[in-house]
Structure 1
Amino acid sequence: MTDLSADGFPADAAAVGLDPEALRQRALAALLTARERTALLTDSVDDGELMAQHSPLMSPLVWDLAHIGNQEEQWLLRAVGGREAMRPEIDGLYDAFEHSRASRPSLPLLPPAEARAYAADVRGRALDILEGTPLHEGGGPLARAGFAFGMIAQHEQQHDETMLITHQLRAGPAVLSAPEPPGPADPTGLPAEVLVAEGPFTMGSSADPWALDNERPAHRREVAGFFIDTSPVTCGDYERFIEDGGYSERRWWAPEGWDMIRANGLTAPLFWLRDSGQWLRRRFGVTEPVPRDEPVLHVSWYEADAYARWTGRRLPTESEWEKAARHDPASGRSLRYPWGDEDPAPDRANLGQRHLRPARAGAYPAGRSPHGVGQLMGDVWEWTSSDFLPYPGFAPFPYREYSDVFFGPEHKVLRGGSFAVDAVACRGTFRNWDLPVRRQIFSGFRTAKDA
């Protein structure tokens, strides 16, 4: 069994079976990959668009840019490296809890050139610290197994996803491009659903050196048998719900969801519009026909729940989702990813903004789980029926505001990542959460039912 520290995290690099230098190189690669993506998302628009707020739901892009640098300074330079603060006067400006997104344009934010220079200066110093920090017990709990460096790489990639959402919300012509994702190898060869038999499995992680606090600790869960869709619900599936009057039938909706769609006049997923009898959607500045065989995107939890009720099914619980994704019935093990313990590859999952849309249902056969469930990693975040709650034995680390303050029935759990998520911030145990009204996120779903 992996040796754990008192806080439940791996004791050092050797304890998780990784060479410290290999972890150092992994951290370096993750930090550089994240910064390349940040540059792409911020260099693709002019300074005016960087400073603008494209939606009250989102920050100006320039806020995200400087916030990325400020978090890196606080955790890598100050906390791990013991350096003096470079810009302590801006800590409050870039504290996500101190200022709402809607209020951030009114703050005295660093202008684009200064924000870029600050983030670059911090990064140079952070790489020096990475090179000289022991990634074992002697380096302290934050440096142990490179955790703080992995945490900051994940943080930057999470903000890159947030900035990509802002790009989707902005008006104007397209400024981003990417190749099309692969199609399904055999779209007719995958059954609609599979049975996951009753029994226990190991949920969560105590061994992954960069797993975040809400993924910990690993624990046994008993799960009753259930059926689950082998692919996410498609746009064509969802169109049938719309055309059958799904948005006008109160019986399918949770009371709060019914109130939401009536108050806002919602009749379809966000960014969809009806024109000349055809459903169109706007995607990163381009208007196009809704692809019927692609997973539906930009639906709230309430919409996903209503659709599932309409079909006579339900959303899977978080435990069911993770068992379908990780449990190997042949060995009884819980895998790191649906396909095994190997890192994601382009033939296994649609991740990292490699494409700017989900792949068609049935794609990535090499990424299916031992149960035969596909597209569990990447493509679309998948709503589950579960509230965001701590696991038994949860301990906040390294700060309460990452997970602890969000636990409760107000937030629903999403799993699996999306095309906008980088592999460093996506694994079989990774937990995302959001308010059930959220639609601007890259969210979809699949359905389940009791066996």
Structure 2
Amino acid sequence: MTIETERLRDRVAAELLRARERSTRLTEAVDDDDLVAQHSPLMSPLVWDLAHVGNQEELWLVRDVGGRAAVRQDIDELYDAFKHARRDRRALPLLNPAEARRYVAQVRDKALDVLDRARLDQGRRLVADGFAFGMIVQHEQQHDETMLATHQLRSGPPVLSAAPPPAPASVVTGEVLVPGGPFTMGTDTEAWALDNERPAHQVFVAPFHIDRAAVTNGAYAAFIEAGGYDDPRWWTAAGWDHRQEAGLTGPAHWQRDGSSFAATTFGRTAPVVADEPVVHVGFHEASAYAKWAGKRLPTEAEWEKAARWDPATGRSRRYPWGDAAVESRHANLGQRFLRPSAAGAFPDGASPLGVHQLIGDVWEWTSSDFHGYPGFAAFPYREYSEVFFGPDYKVLRGGSFGTDASAVRGTFRNWDYPIRRQIFTGFRCARDA
């Protein structure tokens, strides 16, 4: 074993532990009745998510990588996300909270034993560079963010708390010009990058302007007060139909508070903070605001160029700030603050062109449909990405305050239906140069 391999093994173990600690915090914050409840038809019961992350760990690490006997093969179908819609999972014969906790602990013990014996420096592509373990780390952290979204939808007294985000170091407004030309989109070198991030390829992007910061609560409130939700001029036909059918009047969880607005966040209602990014808006709302403002949403390629392209060298970096791993000074990630931070709160995370907080705070809608890159190859299974390709899903980028650093990077791609608002979504605008 090389020193590098042992360091990788230690890193994997630490990341697995960190993800499980977060899962534990999210599920132990409520009682068993809350864990098995269906808080929204859009979300699974929290206890389903807990057992599901264990089941995926068993399938990939214990059975596939480790070649071990099944721990609970009888529950595979119950926790197959493609077999049962979220709204139906409450009615399934799920493991109860005590059983789920025992199950994930048993699986983790076996997975760590597999990690101790796995050859991470050679052999199968699934295991090389610890990919399978990194995939499971990201999967659990993604479900932790899903569970955090479920917490936002539950009723009852608050059970989660955190310090407020840092105050902005400076006022960040306006936009920047991103020069036209080619850049490298995607990656061939990120060891734990998922299949839809690959392969790296050249993309030509015409010059464009992009906002230095995400659209704020104050700016979005101005759109509402100007009658933005009542004027079909700003909406696409599909967006206007949805706005009317769903009765949308503002972001999810907002309510009128006299002449201003308040929002309920994890059980606490308070006035919206004007300079923080707006959150819980769908794609249709984002595109309507952008048109009202005389702009548009960026394409996915524009977003990635703004986030990764270094004008001094012409190369694409891992993150807006460079190739260095995420530190707490770079971005609002990992549910440290439980809400987005104001523009300018993380100056060390800005891009060379001066675009702020492209990583963290809110997932940002783009105008692009979700498709594979040229030369895409599904790995290690089609159901991670390929089955979602097509015009039904819009791409989101950048991560949110609830996203973990292990599950976001400059190339990471998320996607959802344009009507979805339960996830921590916001946006920034762009326009042609």
TM-score range normalised by the length of the shorter chain:
over 0.9
- Could you tell me how far apart the structure 1 residues matched to 2:374 and 2:11 are? 30
2:191 maps to amino acid: P
Instruction: State the Cα distance separating 1:264 from its structure 2 match.
Output: 1.7
Is 1:110 matched up with 2:92? no
| Counterpart selection for 2:291 from 285, 289, 309 | 309
Q: Which residue pairs with 2:421 in the alignment?
A: 439
Partner of 2:58: 73
Local SS of the residue matching 1:137? coil
CA distance in 2, matches of 1:198, 1:224: 4
2:133 maps to which residue? 149
**Structure 2 runs not aligned, ≥5 long:** none
User: Which residue, out of 130, 136, 149, partners 1:165?
Assistant: 149
> Which residue number corresponds to residue 203 of structure 2?
221
* 1:6 match: none
Q: Distance in 2 between matches of 1:372 and 1:336?
A: 16
> Which of residues 73, 98, 105 in structure 1 aligns to 2:83?
98
Aligned to 1:244: 226
Distance in 2 (CA, whole Å) between partners of 1:89 and 1:26 is 32
How far apart are residue 181 of structure 1 and its match?
1.0
Structure 1 residue 182 corresponds to structure 2 residue 166: yes
Mapped to 2, the partners of 1:377 and 1:416 lie a distance apart of 4
Alignment of 1:5-404 (within 5 A): 19-138=4-123, 140-187=124-171, 190-404=172-386
TM-score (norm 2): 0.99
Take 1:383 and 1:297, find their aligned partners in 2: how far apart are those partners? Answer: 11
- Distance, in Å, in 2 between the alignment partners of 1:237 and 1:183 is 19
Shift of 1:19: 2.1
Q: Distance in 2 between matches of 1:255 and 1:191?
A: 31
C-alpha distance after superposition, 1:76-124 (max 9, x if no partner): 0001000111111100000000000000000000000000000000001
Q: Which residue of 2 aligns with 1:9?
A: none
Q: For residues 264 and 387 of structure 1, what CA distance do their matches in structure 2 show?
A: 23
Q: Tell me the amino acid that sits aligned with residue 332 of structure 1.
A: G
Q: 2:74, 2:370 → 1: CA distance?
A: 34
What secondary structure is seen at the aligned counterpart in 1 of 2:203?
A: strand
CA deviation after TM superposition for structure 1 residue 363, in Å:
1.5
Q: Give secondary structure in 1 for the equivalent of 2:24.
A: helix
What secondary structure does 1:306 align onto?
helix
Look up the SS of the partner of 2:384 in the other structure: coil
C-alpha contact 2:173 2:213 (8 A) present in aligned 1 = no
- SS of residue in 2 equivalent to 1:270: coil
- Deviation at 1:381? 0.2
How far residue 67 of structure 1 moved from its aligned partner, in angstroms, is 0.3
Contact 2:330 2:349 in 1 (8 A): yes
For the residue of structure 1 that corresponds to 2:339, the secondary structure is coil
AA aligned to 1:26 is R
- 1:137 Cα shift? 2.5
How much does 1:346 deviate?
1.1
For the residues of structure 1 that align with 2:283 and 2:79, how far apart are their CA atoms?
A: 29
Work out whether 1:425 is the aligned partner of 2:410.
Answer: no
Q: Which amino acid in the other structure matches residue 218 of structure 1?
A: A
**Equivalent-residue separation in structure 2 for 1:183 and 1:21 (angstroms):** 40
Partner SS for 1:105: helix
Which letter maps to 2:412? F
Q: Distance in 1 between matches of 2:148 and 2:173?
A: 33
> Identity across aligned pairs (percent)?
64
How far apart are residue 136 of structure 1 and its match?
2.4
CA distance, structure 2, for counterparts of residue 276 and residue 210 of structure 1: 49
Q: Distance in 2 between matches of 1:331 and 1:22?
A: 31
Between the aligned partners of 1:179 and 1:289, the Cα distance in structure 2 is 17
CA distance in 2, matches of 1:50, 1:257: 34
Alpha-carbon distance in structure 1 between the residues aligned to 2:179 and 2:62: 48
Q: Determine the C-alpha separation between the residues in 2 that align with 1:26 and 1:423.
A: 14
**Which amino acid is 2:104 matched to?**
A
CA-to-aligned-CA distance 1:304-328 (integer Å, 9 cap, x gap): 0000000110000000000000000
In 2, the alpha carbon distance for the partners of 1:191 and 1:286 equals: 29
Which letter does structure 1 place at the counterpart of 2:228?
G
The root-mean-square deviation of aligned C-alpha atoms, in Å, is 1.1
How far is the alpha carbon of 1:191 from its aligned partner? 4.6
Paired residues in the alignment total: 433
1:245-298 per-residue CA deviation (whole Å, 9 max, x = no partner) reads 000000100111101111121110000011322211100000000111100000
User: What stretches of structure 1 of length at least 5 have no aligned partner?
Assistant: 1-12
Deviation by residue 1:127-174 (Cα, 9 ceiling, x = unmatched) = 111111011232x22111000000000000000000000000000111
